[in-house]
Amino acid sequence: MKKYAIIAVVAIACLTAFSFAPTGGREYVPVEQTPDMETGYIENVHKKNDHYLLSIDQVDWYEGEAAVQKFLEREADSGLDGPPDDYYIINDDETLHDLPIASDAEVLMQIYNRTGNVLEADIVWNEPISVDKFIELLSTEDDLDIKGFPYHLTVKDGEIIRIVQQFVP
């Protein structure tokens, strides 16, 4: 009887430890902004001369203290001390521009419909996927529309070499 009680206690301890582990094994870490990075929403994707082109609506993305500062500058009469979710987006110019994706670009996702059942979508921080998979996701009608997320795009020599989906709570 003691043997079964010990096994049960160990099993419960293990299950409890795993249930409190963060999804993907890490906590959220903001994307480090670099001079060759732009942030924006992807409006559409098309192919031209064997390259995929993303039509981007560029935005200014702020997190943490920078988000609070920009929020208070622009929304002083809101009655709030800062942005509700610790980020702030400014989109004063909705002009679209096209950027080609390098065929070997790195694509890192945070959340998307992996199984075809949107209820099973969960966060996996910086999950790498192929450019082809990314294009497929952009072109798929889904309840979890990945075009609804901003993306941090690293551009080198006029071409996107890195795409990082920004998780928005």
pLDDT in tens, 68-118: 999 999 999 999 999 999 999 999 999 999 999 999 999 999 999 999 898
pLDDT at residue 25, as a whole number: 53
pLDDT at residue 15, as a whole number: 35
pTM for the predicted model, two decimal places: 0.82
* pLDDT of 20 above 50: no
Closest CA to 164 of 85, 47, 61: 61
Average confidence score pLDDT of the chain = 86
Exposed e or buried b for every residue in 128-151, given b needs 16+ CB within 10 A?
ebebeebbebeeeeeeeebeebbb
pLDDT in tens, 126-151: 999 999 999 999 998 888 999 999 99
Q: Can you list the alpha helix ranges (DSSP code H) found in the chain?
A: 2-19, 64-74, 131-138
Tokens of 72: 């208070």
pLDDT at residue 13, as a whole number: 35
* pLDDT of 31 above 80: yes
Count how many Cα atoms sit within 13 Å of the Cα of residue 91 in the half-sphere of its side chain.
Answer: 12
